[in-house]
Amino acid sequence: MSQVIVVGGGLAGMSAAHTALEQGARVLVLDKSPFCGGNSTKATSGINAAGSKTQRVLNIPDTPEQFEKDTTFSAAEGARPDLIKVLTHQSGPAVDWLIDAFDLDLSIIARLAAHTHPRTHRGKERFPGMAITYRLMEKLEEICAQKDGRARLFNKARVTELIQNDNGEVVGVVFEKGGKTFKEYGPVVIATGGFGADFSEDSLLSSVSEQFAGMEAWSVTSRAAKQSGGKKIPMPNLLSLPTTNGPHCTGDGIKLALKAGSGTFDLHAVQIHPTGIVDPAEPDAKVKFLAAEALRGSGGIILDRDGNRFCDELGKRDYVSGRMFVHDKAPYRLCLNGKATDLISWHCEHYTGRGLMKKVSGAELAKELNVAPSKLQKTFDEYNRAAKNPGTDKWDKKFFEATPVNVDDNFHVCIITPLVHYCMGGVAGNKEAEVITPAGQSIPGLYVAGEALGGVHGVNRLGGSSLLDCVVYGRVAGKTSSKFLLNKLIQGGGATGGSSVNGINVKISPNDKSVTVSWGGASSGSSSTDAVPEDNGEAEVDPNQQFYGTGDKKSGGSKAAAKTYTMDEVSKHTTKDDCWVVLHGKVFNITDFLDDHPGGAKAILLYGGKDASKEFDMLHKPDIIDKYAMDYFVGPLAADSKL
């Protein structure tokens, strides 16, 4: 047991892995998907922090104490003060760690819904979830490539069991890969996300749907219901709603922890986000893209089908969704005027490029709503007056951006709908990220971080706190599991400076906080895996082997292509069974890659038969093409081909 095993390769898992490495532990990361990243790569608004370097530079008078108050208010009756305190008071150091350790740009700060201060950080390029998560993935791959045994990463590796000894301590995992079963030993961090895409009849989502419908947050005492004259909000069945979650979000890690004896916190607390984007070309799609909360933070207004406002756009997510349900005047539109668009132009350009948002004049917006431009201007006039006179808004909105709003402006508009977005409930854990039983006792050797950890956000999560949760509790889990590992090594090997007991040699270096472990005279890179009888179909894993992406390896780089292709030829390949795209003058047949794409097949099919270079660059660094895509390269685009 000379390693920390991290199950899940999203931001929580990556944060735990890097922190464990910093503490001197060896690390194994297992992810069931072909590529790491998970839902973290989809986060579009940013990461919260109070007291960060960026806030200090921008003279934002925020404090961890105020962030704690905001989070507690949002969490409502589900608030767990111990977990919230760690989240908020470690937020500044967490974001500073991302900036300092990974050279990330987090220089822009916005105010999202229900925050008293601007504290949601993002960079100048690319969606923050992708930028942050990919950088940590990239750094881990660099460490893995050194092949010194410090870090290993296995993709397409599904953990099926937590191994426990007679005392109930978790001592390792069983996982399947390539049709074989493997065992690895060490303390385990569960970082597998939530269950927001498991719509099967026996799923966790199904099991909590009835309890969800009776949550206090949706009762007649809620703000949304009060603004509806005390009318009880009709709640839909969770299974009937669309989702923002990828197909990997099936609660696997939560189920593993339950089998190991863990308790749960508030599994019924599922967040319904108000602004899922309805694709005009596929309005009934089960999986939808999310309209970032930063769009509303930049001044976006929500209108009903009659051109009226009906809520505080910057209210808590459960409040805005509740108002949409009880107001019952869909379709709802999220509208950004020219000033708001300028504040978040990159997002608007991205959504417009995907065909999910469009730019229209005020007159065109009125026509689409089937109302007179004067009616729309009346709505805007009321909004402008409220912005000038604090405390007078009919819907109690306190913060106004990008005013005044006028019908003679241009608008970026998308149709929105509530949908399943996040699971606040999950595995029961404490402030040290230790998994605990229903009786409140910790399960030795088992830790949890990210969305899989229940109770951090109560019954409603603030926008910008999902990435933060991943980093803060990923770091906590990385530290706690490493400390546990070190104590086990000291107890098992009797080591102080360096000793050998039962063939195990442990050397501890206080100067660089490293632990070197040798097994039977072998180097620290040798495997801690126990070989098991081959007649059980189980095998030993080579500790220096890495598994990347499709085909269990990275792309081998450019390969020769016999011919060039025109855009006319490419445009014929637009279906799920035959999909080609152009990226920077290169033609790719990505048909076999669609189901492996971390963002889902739909994200690519939107560009089938087209040049997707601009949209690709909005999300990805250019080196991703050479690292992962060249196996799908079919040839260059003809130089004289029209794009």
Q: Where are the domains of the chain?
A: 26-197+243-269+424-486, 270-421, 495-539, 555-636
End-to-end CA distance of the chain: 56
**Cα–Cα dist 456/473, whole Å:** 10
For residues 192 and 206, what is the distance between their CA atoms, to the nearest angstrom?
19
Of 202 and 80, more confident: 80
**Given the residues 248, 296, 309, 327, the one annotated as active site:** 296
pLDDT of residue 509: 56
Report d(CA 597, CA 479) in Å as an integer: 31
Pairing assessment for the beta strands 170-177 and 158-164 based on DSSP bridges: antiparallel
The catalytic residue among 80, 273, 350, 461 is 273
Sign of CA dihedral 612, 615, 620, 622: positive
For residue 500, pLDDT beyond 50: no
Residue 539 has pLDDT above 60, yes or no: no
Query: Lowest-pLDDT range, 106-120, 137-151, 513-527?
Result: 513-527
The CA-CA-CA angle for residues 616, 288, 156, to 5°, reads 65
The per-residue pLDDT for 507 is: 53
Kind of pairing between the strands at 3-7 and 188-190: parallel
Token pair of 297 as six digits: 């933070």
Is residue 267 classed as helix, strand or coil in its secondary structure? coil
Region 160-169: what's the mean pLDDT?
98
For residue 538, name the pLDDT band (cuts at 50, 70, 90): very low
Distance CA 216, CA 209 (A): 14
**What rounded mean pLDDT belongs to the chain?**
88
Architecture of domain 555-636: Roll (3.10)
Host H or E run for residue 163: strand 158-164
Residue 632 confidence class, pLDDT cut points 50, 70, 90:
very high
Q: How confident is the model at residue 563 (pLDDT cuts 50, 70, 90)?
A: confident
Q: Per residue in 429-483, pLDDT tens?
A: 999 999 999 999 999 999 999 999 999 999 999 999 999 999 999 999 999 999 9
Between CA 119 and CA 106 the distance in angstroms is 11
The span from the CA of 599 to the CA of 584, in Å, is 20
Task: Write out pLDDT tens, residues 399-435.
Answer: 999 999 999 999 999 999 999 999 999 999 999 999 9
Are 268 and 208 in contact by the 8 Å Cβ rule? The answer is yes
3-state helix vs strand vs coil in the chain, percent to 5: 35, 20, 45
Strands 332-336 and 301-303: antiparallel
pLDDT value, residue 626: 87
Q: Higher-confidence residue: 451 or 625?
A: 451
Q: Report the C-alpha gap between 415 and 611 in whole angstroms.
A: 26
CA–CA gap between residue 162 and residue 185 (Å, rounded): 10
- Percentage of the chain exceeding pLDDT 70: 85
Residue 4 to residue 210: CA distance in whole angstroms: 38
* Residue 296 falls in the annotated catalytic set: yes
Summarize pLDDT for 120-156 with one digit per residue, the tens.
Answer: 999 987 889 999 999 999 999 999 999 899 999 999 9
What is the rounded distance in angstroms from the CA atom of residue 51 to the CA atom of residue 194? 29
3-state DSSP call for residue 501? Answer: strand
Residue 536 has pLDDT above 80, yes or no: no
**pLDDT value, residue 2:** 81
Lowest mean pLDDT among 229-238, 380-389, 516-525: 516-525
Number of Cβ within 10 Å of residue 500's Cβ equals: 15
185-199, 503-517, 531-545: which has the minimum mean pLDDT? 531-545
pLDDT tens-place string over residues 174-233: 999 999 999 999 999 999 999 999 988 789 999 988 777 665 444 434 666 677 666 666
Question: Cα(435)–Cα(446) distance, rounded to whole angstroms?
Answer: 6
The rounded distance, in Å, linking the Cα atoms of 623 and 490 is 42
In this structure, are residues 546 and 145 in contact, taking their beta carbons and an 8 Å threshold? yes
User: What does the pLDDT average to over 308-325?
Assistant: 93
Each residue of 329-358: pLDDT tens digit?
Answer: 999 999 999 999 999 998 999 999 999 999
CA–chain centroid gap for 621, Å, is 18
Class of domain 26-197+243-269+424-486: alpha beta
Q: H/E element holding 158?
A: strand 158-164
Q: Who wins on pLDDT, 198 or 496?
A: 198
Report the residue count for the chain. 643
Mean pLDDT (whole number) for 169-173 = 98
Crossing angle of helices 465-493 and 81-89, in 10° steps, is 100
Q: Is the pLDDT of residue 542 over 90?
A: no
CATH of 270-421, one of 3.40.50.300, 3.90.700.10, 1.10.10.10, 1.20.1050.10: 3.90.700.10
**Cα dist. 299→122, 124, 376, 405 in Å?**
17, 19, 17, 9
**Prior bond to 331 cis, omega within 30?**
yes
Give the model confidence (pLDDT) of 246-265 as tens digits.
889 999 999 999 999 999 99
One-letter amino acid for residue 62 of the chain: D
Strand 26-30 to 358-361 pairing: unpaired
Tell me which residue has tokens 């930063």.
294
H helix and E strand count, the chain = 20, 27
